[in-house]
Amino acid sequence: MGAMALSTYVACVIAGLQIFLFLIARFYQRMTGERTRPGLFLVSAALLLAGDLLYVSQVPVLAGNTVADVFLLVGGCVLVGISYSLLRAMTRGN
C-alpha cells in the first residue's frame, strides 16, 4: 500500500510541475504572440496520471500493464517534445 501511495504522490507532484510549465508557456505565448502550445502540457499530465492510476488500480501487480505503459510512454514523449519546443522558443533570440 505504501508504494502505491508514494507513486500517486509523485505523479501528483509531477502533474503540478507540468501545470506550472503550462502557465509559463501560456504567459510567454500571450506576451510574445509566439505559439507555444501550452495545452500539450495538460495532455501530458493527464496521460501520466492516467498511467499511474491504472497501475494503482491493480494493487498486487506493479508491472506488466500494457495500456498503462503506453500512457506513460506517450505522456513522457509529449512532455519531452513540448518542453524542448518551449525551451527553443524562449531562447531563440539569445
DSSP element (H, E) containing 89: helix 66-91
Q: Domain of 31?
A: 2-91
Name which of 85, 88, 80, 3 is nearest 44 in CA terms.
Answer: 80
Query: 28-81: per-residue pLDDT in tens?
Result: 999 999 999 999 999 999 999 999 888 888 766 667 788 999 999 999 999 999
Q: What's the structural domain count of the chain?
A: 1
Query: How distant is the alpha carbon of residue 41 from its chain centre?
Result: 6
Q: Is the pLDDT of residue 21 over 90?
A: yes
